Amino acid sequence: MPIATEFLKYCTQYLDDNMGGISEGVINKIQSRKNLNDTSNINDVMEFIGLLENSIGVISGKNNAITICKHLREKTMELNLANETDELHNTLRNEASDININEFLARINAVNFLNDLRPIDKTEKQTLSEMHADMDGFLSKNVIPAESEITEFSEELALKYHVDVPKIKKDIIEKVKVNFKNEINKKAIKTEINKFLFRYPVPSKEDIDDFVNYFNLLKFTYSEAQIREQIETERLYLKFQDPVLPEKISEFDQLIDQIKGYRDKNDIIRILEEKEISYLIKDETRASDKFLIELVEQITLFEKDPVGGAYLNHLVREN
């Protein structure tokens, strides 16, 4: 059985046991972005888990996401080893006795296989999982790190795990981009729900149903169950929070507010470059107008600012 098929079967059951009914919607959302099929390899599965980790973090917290996805990465390594063992067994059984040993070893990539066949060496088996855990630890302390910080940390991981620096750097930047988009979505969703609860402090079932239907028309992939759960969470928070305590402004919020203060794309690019975070809008090595417009569109999506449309049109005309 292909590794992707085995993984999805296991992942579906594991998430259902740990997250309940919303797990199906989470998996479908990630599948729409990173589709796993019979041709997918272990790297595709690991990329899928990375996207999954960010989505779970939005729903149930970063620590829970790290724990769940650490287990999924370890399980993926086990499935991959089992598949390679089966392939080797079938090859040994089917190959002719007079096969050239060098051609045989090259075809089954025996060197890599034997490197994996060291079950007593837990460090070897869990390298990929531990490396991603190190990345997550770095990003928990550096929410939107400067590119020089990412480069320096990537070099440290490359020495520690004997892997490629550019690949690590690319993975970290992708995690930051996904985290940033998720934070924008969370902020926008919270804003809409709070406006709803301001109008209806004790909403009826009909009020909530209407709001969920309205929310489904917007550009978000939250499931109905997630929306209803978030409404109840915010309702209880507003009911019991201490109104005297100010809400802490996150690093994400500070950057979003700063970007909203500009109307010219060159000013936005300049701000991002000064902070060494222009990678948020870069396509490979250069700034991309497409990514810049997407970023601004996400930030202004829920602002209901009458100049918002003109803002985006202005950026497009600047292309």
How far does the chain reach from its first CA to its final CA, in angstroms? 48
| Range scoring the smallest mean pLDDT among 67-81, 136-150, 234-248, 286-300 | 286-300
| Contact criterion met (CB below 8 Å) for 129 and 70 | yes
77-109: pLDDT as tens digits: 888 877 766 665 565 555 544 455 555 445 445
Taking the C-alpha atoms of residue 227 and residue 193, their distance in angstroms, rounded to an integer, is 9
Q: Name, of 17-21, 25-29, 59-63, 282-286, the range with top average pLDDT.
A: 25-29
pLDDT in tens, 62-82: 778 888 888 898 888 888 877
What are the extents of the domains in the chain? Answer: 3-125, 179-240, 251-317
Q: Which residues of 61-97 are buried (b: 16+ CB within 10 A; e: fewer)?
A: ebeebbebbbebbbbbbebbbeebeeebeeeeeeeee
List pLDDT tens digits, range 129-165: 788 888 888 988 888 999 999 999 999 998 888 888 8
Q: Is pTM beyond 0.85 here? A: no
